[in-house]
Amino acid sequence: MNTGASPFGGLPPVVKNLIIINALFYVASLVLISTFGIRIEEYLGLHLPTAESFNPFQLVTYMFLHAYYSPTEGIIFFHLFFNMFALFMFGRMLEAVWGPKRFLIYYFVTGIGAALVHIATQYIEVTPVLQAITHDINNASPEALKSFLNQALPRGMRDQYQQLISESPGSLHAISRDFMVKYRNLYLDSFVTVGASGSVFGILLAFGMLFPNTQLMLLFPPIPIKAKYFVIIYGVIELFMGVRNFAMDNVAHWAHLGGMLFGFILIKYWKNKGFYY
């Protein structure tokens, strides 16, 4: 889409440095996985707070990581590209209005807010599964535990489990229980979120609020639309996708909405304080 501003104009410092940092993290992700087999998102991506791999700093670091590899597509670039493109197109205009300090505050508030909303919705999703696992750990018979473990555990853990059972059949219940705990930890650690989309959606909302009548030219379909309507339509789509929770949809729609929500709250707060423009 085109806001009418020259895409070759000088970039303000915060937008420029955010783009550089995101690009450097992307390159580092590729180098670490290809050279050392290290997946950086396991350490810096956002995990659930009850997961073993969670650290509070992930509420910030996850914003600088992006999906970089797909088993079917190989190296992928579009996740980083579209986020940075939106930051470039809209963020520079907001930074010009707000100044570097306020824009940076807005960027991090919306990104962290997006993370909090996303975590809250993830807990709604995982709670029934965690309750079932906890019930099996505490109450189920050894036979039921063994049946569940054989079905749910990854192949390597199933093989290890079978070996331990054959070596010590009298410890069936204790071994099953230990592996159920390991499975619960694996399950919690499997939820990892990366990307600057929460902040980007906060930026889209801010642009729509500050420049509501600016004409944007969509790429598809190629029609003009006012910024305020674009933001509303995009928000409704994200809400629909988040509520429906389609299978195989790994987009963090609630994080997008969280970024918009926290952005709206912060802008209203600034307006009440006389800091809107």
Instruction: Output the pLDDT for position 9.
Output: 52
Instruction: Output the pLDDT for position 160.
Output: 77
Among 189, 215, 230, identify where a domain stops.
189
Query: Residues 266, 150: one domain?
Result: no
Q: Where are the beta strands (DSSP E) in 109-246?
A: 192-193, 215-217, 224-226
**Mean pLDDT computed over 238-256:** 65
Query: Residues 68, 173: one domain?
Result: no
Structural domain range at position 159: 126-189
Query: Residues 61, 182: one domain?
Result: no
Residue 4 lies inside a defined structural domain of this protein: no
137 pLDDT band, cuts 50/70/90, is: confident
Query: Residues 110, 212: one domain?
Result: yes
Query: Residues 22, 90: one domain?
Result: yes
Query: Residues 28, 160: one domain?
Result: no
147 pLDDT band, cuts 50/70/90, is: low
- pLDDT tops 70 at residue 144: no
Query: Residues 162, 234: one domain?
Result: no
**In which element (H, E) is residue 184 found?**
helix 172-189
Contact predicate 102/275, CB 8 Å? yes
Token digits of residue 151 = 């079905």
What is the SS3 string spanning 18-80?
HHHHHHHHHHHHHHHHHHHCCCCHHHHCEECCCCCCCCCCHHHHHHHCCCCEECCCEECCHHH
Query: Residues 93, 201: one domain?
Result: yes
pLDDT in tens, 12-33: 999 999 999 999 999 999 999 9
Token digits of residue 173 = 């219940």
